[in-house]
Structure formats: C-alpha cells, structure tokens
Structure 1
Amino acid sequence: MTMANARMSGGSAHGAHDHHGAQGRHPAQAAALQVSDYFVRIGCDPLTEAFERRSFSPPWRGSRPVDTEDVDAVFKRIFATPRQETAVAYVHVPFCQTRCLFCGFFQNAWRPEAGAAYVDDLLAELAIRSTTALVSSAPIDAVYIGGGTPSALAADDLVRLVEGLRHHLPLTSDCEITLEGRAFGFDLAKAAKVADVGVTRMSIGVQTFSTEVRRRLGRKLSGPEVQSFLTDLVALGRTAVVCDLIYGLPGHDGAEWCRDIEIVDQIGIDGVTLYALNTFPGGPLASAIEKGKLSPPATPGEQARAYADAVERLAALGWLQVSQSHLVRSVREFNRYNAAIKRGVTCLPFGAGAGGQAHGYRWRNVIEIAQRREMIAQHREPVEALALVPPDHAAHAMIAAGLEAGRLDLVAIEALRPGFRVAVAPLLANWAAAGLGELSGDGFKPNHAGAFWIGNLTSGLSAGLQSATQAESNACCGSV
C-alpha cells in the first residue's frame, strides 16, 4: 500500500482509508466538538507547539447508518439515480507482497495464483455497474487503482483491468488513470505495457531511500535499488511518475530526511507526497516500539520541522506546492483524483474493500473476497457501512479542500452553512495571531505551520460548523 490511502487524513501516513480500502465504520453519533478546544496559545512556536498532537477530522463524522434491512433497496436506488457532475473511480486491489510495519491496513498476503481470479471479479463488477444510471450518466475524469499493491498483479492481468476500465466506464479523453505500486516486483516491461493501454500516472510507495530504515520497516529493496527503478521509470517517459515519503520514521534522522529530499529532486520525478508517520495503537509498528525492537518515532514537533524543511527545500529547487502534502514540478502531474476526493465529489468504488460516495451516501464494498463472492452469488449487494453523510458534509468537504489547497473561502462555506463565519471568527483570529496563517479579506491562508496542523485546523472549523448548525436549530425552536 502506498500513501494515497492517507490523503483524506490530513497528511498522516495511513491515517484513514476513507475513500477507498478498509474504510472505517461510520459512527452513528458524532462526538460534540468545541471551538474553544482548538485555540492556540499566543507566543508558542506555531510550527512545533500549536497543539499537543495531530488530530483527524473524518468526513464521515456524524453519518447515520442505513438500517440493515434497507441496505439492498437503498443501494439499488443510489445506482439507479443519474448524476450530473463528473465523478472519479477507485479500484481496490487488496493484496500486499509484504506486511510493512508502518501500515495499519494489511488485509491479504499476495499470492500470484489469486491475481487472475480477482481481476475476473473486477471485470464482472465493472460490466454490471456500467449499465446503471449512476455510472453511465456523466463522465469520469480520474481513476485510481490502489491497494494493497496493484503493481503486484501480472502484466497481462493489469492490461485486462485497464482495458476493462476503458471499455466499461465513461472516461473522459484525458482521464487520469493512476496505478499505485512499489518498486519490488515491478519492472519497466510491465510499466510499458500498462502505459500502452492507458495508465497515465504511476504512484510508487518509497517512504525513504535509507536502506537501513527500509529494512527495519519490512521493505524488500535497498534505497539505491528503489532510486534506480524510479530513475528508469522516469526515463521511460510514458507516464507521470510520483512517489511518497514518510517523515518521523523510527531511526530516521534529519540528515537522512534531507538526503531523501535531495534524491527525489535528482531523480526527476513529476511529483512527491510528504506524509507524517501515524502509529496505530496495537499495530505492528507500535508493538515493535513497545518491545524495544525499534526506537521511538519522531515527536509531533520533530515531524513539524521535517515537514517545513522539506517543503522549503523543494520550493527553493523549483517545486510547486499544490496541496498540504503534495508538490509538483512538471505540467505532467495533475494530482486530479486526490484533489477531487478532497472536494467530496462522487467516487465510484470497485473491488473488495473499496469505499465510495454518491447522492448523499457513503459505503464500503465488503472487504473479505470469499464473503463478497458468496453475497454476489446470493444476489445480495456486497456492501457494508452504508450511511447517510452528515448534513454539513458539503461544507466540511469545502473546508478540507480549501485548507488542502491553501486558501479557505469563508464566503462559500457561509453560503452552505449560515452562521459559520460568526462561529469561527474568534478561532481564525486566534490562529492568525498565533502564527498559523493569515486572514485576508474573505479567506484564511495557512502557512507552513498551519499546513502541518491541517487536521487540527479542520477539526476546529468542523466544530464551528456544529456550532452554527446548533445555533440555527435553537433559533428555529425558539421561533415555534
């Protein structure tokens, strides 16, 4: 699994599988958020001390699960309803070649003999869903093939999959098709074959080029081997090439992090995503640290310095920061899928464990492959966690997308949730005074410090949404 699975999590590596993969179950009731909980002490170092820890504000907070007996009927209604807007699609390949310590979402060990049958499942699903109004009624301009490790599939199976996507889905002529993968088990011949059938972007999970750290995390290839593969992939010249790096890894010092940034620049790739390590309680990484097998990871303050340093170094080298965690340096890299997901657009999910959203609902495909096949054979919808999104979902998405892109549009959010500006005015003034960003007219622009704490800022503004909603509700009750 590479880092695309974290991109709704505020920049923490594998913070959530919100739009694909093992999407977390939707809580029936959201815990009340208080705006005052997100005020920052004036005079502290905003980059390293604004908050004690990074928080995550999931877009599904406050979703209302659909009753089990209604799931099939509601799901059929969702797919029978046309859409007007352009959508994206996510295809999940739930197999991993190794279980990496930093990843909290390992599901199935990769077995070569499982690949062809799984692609058969995907093609059958695409054929069935392609006839529905939801899928066929409007264009799709980005497809993400993620996992797991999709690049582990045999070249012929990947070709079949991509050809199936192009045959069954209403893709735009310039549709971005991303293949997620890792250098291990991926070669230039396979890369060329998938490019031939329409893959336009390859996202490679690197994490670090430090061989010592890679070995401790369970990665197979050395740093130089990964660097060589990426260099050759760029030289192939067939697709955009992006990779991801994690800062805050155990035993990964500042000098190694600087070296990682230098290597990324030297390789000539089109884009890089920077993620903070997220340690899952009870997960393999946390267990290894607790047992003394690994040194403790970086503190939030140390992570903040690593993040800001990397962004500043890359900017000085001519890279353009297009989101909180993603930087580009070529016109070949659009990052279209990830930007669309932040905006809360319709996402059509395919494959075991893929998560999607449409027409005010979110859901996840059943992740157990055998169970999924059994449900399909029984003519049951192979979905779980189907839920109505929160009433303020659109406003929440606008907050997340605005912070991610570097400017919060207060007027647009106010139009969706009247009272929002009043609710968050003291908070934004505090953040500006504390050094997390700049209030400019009808917008708020986070700086490097604010960008690092993006999850906390999103949570604070979400609390403002709740406050505005409650104020409106109280006003309505008072007028009765």
Structure 2
Amino acid sequence: MTLLLPLEDHFARPGEPLAGAFAERNLFPWIQRRTRPLEDGPAIAARLLAERRPGKRVAYLHIPFCANHCLFCGFYRNRSAEDSMAEYARRLEHDIAMDQAAASGPPIQAVYFGGGTPSALAAADLGRLISAVRRHLPLAPDCEITIEGRVAGFDDDKVDACLEAGANRFSIGVQTFDTGLRQRMGRKATRHEAIAFMERLRDRDRAVVVCDLIFGLPDQSMEMWGDDVMTCLSLGLDGVDLYCLTLHDKSPLALSIAKGSLPPAAGLDRMAAMYGAGLEMLDDAGWRHLNQAHWASATRERNLYNQLVKAGADCLAFGAGAGGLVAGHRYVIQPDVELYGKTIDAGTKPITVVLPPPANRPARDLVMGGLEGGRLDIARLESLTAPGFAAAIEPLLAQWAAAGLVNRRATAVTLTPAGWFWHCNLVGSLFELTDLFMDGGTASAAPSLPPSEGMRYVG
C-alpha cells in the first residue's frame, strides 16, 4: 500500500521527553467513545459466551459497595450495608453457579474480585464466593485469584476466610501512606495502621501482596511520594502499582477542586517527575517492570489478570456493573443492584450494553498488550495489518526514538522511562494509524462508555 499517513500529527515534541513529549495524556485509548451499542447485543453476547473458543480466559467479579466515597474514585455506586451486601453475595453466587457457558470453556487463568470494595463483604460471604468460583468455574491449576481491598474494615477474619477459600493474591488500595493526605482523600486508616495491616498480610506468607499507590494528588509533595515508594520497598511486598491520578468527571475530588476546597491536582510536569522518580527507585531496587504501572519484587507475582485483559483475552463478567469481553465484544452487566438481583433470581444473565469489536482488533490487541508490557514487535504488527505498514510508520518510530520515547531492538521497539509514562499516547497513535492504513484513509470509531460506567474489568 502507498497510503501516506499523517505521521506528523503524532510526533512527540522536542525537549524534555518525560515531562513534555505531548500536550496531554491520552488516558483511555481503548475505550470506544463513538461506537453505538448493538441493538441485539445481549443475544449476541449470550451466543458468543456459549461458544467454545481456544484462547486464554479470565473472570471479573464486581462488588459495588464501599464504606464511603473516596474523593479520587470514579467507581463508587453503593454505600456498604450489611443486609444488602449479604443479599447481593447470595445473588452473585447464583450468577456464578448458573453460568453453564462459563463452566464449559477453556481454563480460566485469573479471577479478579474488584469494586467497589470486595473486602467490605462479611468474612463468610467472601469465603462463599471464592469457593463458588473454585467449585463452578474451570480454573487453571495455577489460577491467580485476586481480592481487591482497603485497609479499613479488612480484619483478620476476612483475610483468613479469603485464604482458606483459596484466594492467593491481595491487591490493597493504600494510595498513600501519609496520614493527613489519606484522610483528606477519604481514607480512614492512619499511616501506622496501613503499615501494620500490610505487614500482617505479608507475614502470613500465604498469598501475593500488592500495594496500589497514586501520584499527582492535591498537596502531595515529591517528598511524600518518595516516602510512599520507599515504604513499599521497606515492607518487602510482592508487587506495587504506581497509578497516575485520573480526575473523573463529577468525582468528589474534581468537585472539591472546582469549588476551591482543595488545590489543583499536580500538573503533567510534576506527575511525570513523580512517575520517573518511582520508576527509578523500583528499578534501582531490582524490581521487575511487568507493565506500565506495575512492578514485581520476585517471581511469584505475575499480575496475570491485568496482562491478559490488556492483550485482549476473553473476560467473563459477574455482578452488577461488571464489564466483560468476549470475542472482542465489550459487554456490561446491569449496574443497578436491585434490577441485577431480580434478573438473576429469575435465572437470566442481565447483560445490558454490548459494543462491537473495534476494527482491526488483532492488531490493536498486539499494540495494547505489547506497549503495556514495554515491547512491541513491529514485524508481527505488519503481519496483522498489511504489507508496507512497517515502512509507512518508520518515520514516526524514528521520531519517537529521537525524542527519547522508544529504543529500537531489531524488529521491535521498547519503551524508555518517558515512553512508559506516555505509553497510552503511543497506543492511541498506533491505533489511529493502523485503522487509517487498513481502511484506506478512513479512521474507524475508537472503542462509548466512560470507564466508570460498566467497563470496570481492569483491576
């Protein structure tokens, strides 16, 4: 093909690559913003879920309850209440048990309990749900079973119930260890309490322990951020996520900043500096950089769920508001807890919205999975597009290399520290250029729902 692509639109700006390669970050290049849901989507999704196809599968279970709405969170739906959570757990267990299509497919490599706050459930309900997953779904022998939680309310009885039922990975949303900043963001536990909790999980030595940290929060200094990362290193955990703050529309944090109750979040330059500092500290400590936001201290942390989802694996969804993926079709389970429960009680899977696969899905999956892991094989990408694509984008790759975003490795590119920070911009650019090249100059619609509306399947 001889199509000329608008490569210069995707060039990085000269200068400091980490802080200023682009004017803004492309946060969610995989979200379909202009694609219309399929009119007969639920029936299509049900048919696809019933088909047996080869390939990796994961499962996502959504727990849409929280003790309070943390300021930075865009996923809050329902306040924790003992009776309603117990009823929800019963219905979620029924959802798992009645899904014969899920039970008959290939092995499930990873299961993720996300939210919301899964650790808000009672110990007995946590144990029952994990046991239901192990009893009813075809888990791989080494299946990764993750429970997402927060420090407050995750007592020893709940932890032990998870372990006894078979959970083997905990992802704890600490976000920051600074007591004052935690409390301003809606986190109740103090620094001391957060550290003591992580130590108790670590000392059990029966599951992988991962800590989530956020950088770019209002009033978060570079010193505070450095202390957060150093605290994780000193605790001897198995993994850590360094997440850049995302200001979700109408979140309490965005509204507080708009009203002047809190100072603005960090600008791009400070966020870039924080990410670079965290990356350097973890790399210096010998931690493995598994994907853009995630590091592992040792081999037992695999981060399977996130890696497989980003590479396009089928994701089975359970629970109100859960988002799934089947044969490239994104689908959403009814987010209203009561409507979800009534439909489940009637014996029907309440799939509501289904989006068709994006154009050129295999190439997109390779781009997303490859750059998420820091390495993209350009020769393989050409095999999934058309002859001439590698030559067509060569000037762009050369410009990115000169700008300090990528290194060249034979037929592949690997990300530099600046490339890691801007990886979603690189992904979005290659998505657009792939579509243009394959469609002869007409870009296809990008993947419609904001990530807070039912697409919560990435932990």
Cα deviations by residue, 1:205-227 (Å, 9 ceiling, x for unpaired): 01100111111111111111101
Count of matched residue positions in the alignment of Structure 1 and Structure 2: 438
**What CA distance in whole angstroms lies between the structure 2 residues aligned with 1:40 and 1:72?**
41
Q: Provide closer, same or farther for how the CA distance between residues 63 and 385 of structure 1 changes in structure 2, counting only shifts above 3 A.
A: farther
Matched, 1:128 2:105: no
Residue aligning to 1:466: 435
Q: Which amino acid aligns with 2:391?
A: V
Residue aligning to 2:301: 333
Q: Which amino acid aligns with 1:309?
A: A
**What CA distance in whole angstroms lies between the structure 1 residues aligned with 2:236 and 2:78?**
33
TM-score using structure 1 length? 0.87
Q: Provide closer, same or farther for how the CA distance between residues 220 and 398 of structure 1 changes in structure 2, counting only shifts above 3 A.
A: same
**TM-fit CA distance, 1:260:** 0.6
**What CA distance in whole angstroms lies between the structure 2 residues aligned with 1:34 and 1:280?**
31
**TM-fit CA distance, 1:302:** 0.7
Residue aligning to 2:396: 427
Residue aligning to 2:80: 110
Residue aligning to 1:216: 184
Residue aligning to 1:362: 330
Q: Is the 8 A contact 2:324 2:330 kept in 1?
A: yes
Residue aligning to 2:364: 396
Q: Provide closer, same or farther for how the CA distance between residues 286 and 57 of structure 1 changes in structure 2, counting only shifts above 3 A.
A: closer
Matched, 1:371 2:343: no
Q: Which amino acid aligns with 1:256?
A: M
Residue aligning to 2:407: 438
Q: Is the 8 A contact 1:273 1:325 kept in 2?
A: yes
Q: Is the 8 A contact 2:176 2:228 kept in 1?
A: yes
Q: Which amino acid aligns with 1:172?
A: A
| Identical columns (%) | 40
**What CA distance in whole angstroms lies between the structure 2 residues aligned with 1:83 and 1:348?**
13
Residue aligning to 1:264: 232
Matched, 1:40 2:40: no
**TM-fit CA distance, 1:76:** 2.8
Residue aligning to 1:197: 165
Q: Which amino acid aligns with 2:25?
A: R
Cα deviations by residue, 1:36-68 (Å, 9 ceiling, x for unpaired): 3221123x1001111111113432437854543
Q: Is the 8 A contact 1:95 1:109 kept in 2?
A: yes
**TM-fit CA distance, 1:401:** 1.2
**TM-fit CA distance, 1:320:** 1.5
Which 10-residue stretch deviates more, 243-252 or 107-116?
Answer: 107-116
Matched, 1:53 2:24: yes
Q: How does 1:230-249 map onto structure 2 within 5 Å?
A: 230-249=198-217
**What CA distance in whole angstroms lies between the structure 2 residues aligned with 1:300 and 1:191?**
38
Q: Which amino acid aligns with 2:18?
A: L
Cα deviations by residue, 1:375-396 (Å, 9 ceiling, x for unpaired): 4456664112212111212211
**TM-fit CA distance, 1:420:** 3.1
Q: Provide closer, same or farther for how the CA distance between residues 276 and 165 of structure 1 changes in structure 2, counting only shifts above 3 A.
A: same
Residue aligning to 1:8: none
Unaligned runs of 5+ in 2: 444-459
Q: Is the 8 A contact 1:63 1:389 kept in 2?
A: no
**What CA distance in whole angstroms lies between the structure 2 residues aligned with 1:75 and 1:324?**
30
Residue aligning to 2:456: none
Unaligned runs of 5+ in 1: 1-32, 475-480
**TM-fit CA distance, 1:422:** 3.2
Q: Is the 8 A contact 1:192 1:238 kept in 2?
A: no
Q: What CA RMSD, in Å, does the superposition of the two structures yield over aligned residues? A: 1.9
Q: Which amino acid aligns with 1:97?
A: A
TM-score using structure 2 length? 0.91
Give the 3-state SS of the residue equivalent to 1:322 in structure 2.
strand
**What CA distance in whole angstroms lies between the structure 1 residues aligned with 2:298 and 2:8?**
42
Cα deviations by residue, 1:293-352 (Å, 9 ceiling, x for unpaired): 111111111111111111111111221111111111122211111110111101101111
Q: Provide closer, same or farther for how the CA distance between residues 473 and 223 of structure 1 changes in structure 2, counting only shifts above 3 A.
A: closer
Q: Which amino acid aligns with 1:332?
A: R
Q: How does 1:129-168 map onto structure 2 within 5 Å?
A: 129=99, 131-132=100-101, 134-168=102-136
Q: Is the 8 A contact 2:57 2:314 kept in 1?
A: yes
Residue aligning to 2:249: 281
Q: Provide closer, same or farther for how the CA distance between residues 401 and 210 of structure 1 changes in structure 2, counting only shifts above 3 A.
A: same
Which 10-residue stretch deviates more, 328-337 or 50-59?
Answer: 50-59
Give the 3-state SS of the residue equivalent to 1:258 in structure 2.
helix
Cα deviations by residue, 1:172-212 (Å, 9 ceiling, x for unpaired): 11111000000100122321221111100000001100111
Give the 3-state SS of the residue equivalent to 1:332 in structure 2.
coil
